[in-house]
Structure 1
């Protein structure tokens, strides 16, 4: 946390593994927004049968 900016919002990193289904990523993004978070950046990697 940066002590010079007392109003800075906390930052979280979410790592997840899911089956290869495009709707799963869309649903994850919807849930994140509904819970009041903002997605600042996103990266997707494939590993075998998983994103």
Structure 2
């Protein structure tokens, strides 16, 4: 469970909660291509225009 922080005027607020959806392993780039593109997974590759 996330740690609660105490601030005057607030009752045990939680700063943030991350949601990371599950990802299936489908395919992967070669080592050289992954280093060049910054990701091992083609589904995550989003080149800047």
Q: TM class by shorter-chain length?
A: under 0.3
| TM-score for both structures, normalised by structure 1 | 0.24
Question: Which of 1 and 2 has higher RCO (CA within 8 Å, sep 6+)?
Answer: 1
Higher helix proportion (structure 1 or 2):
1
TM-score (norm. length: structure 2): 0.25
Select the structure of larger CA radius of gyration: 2
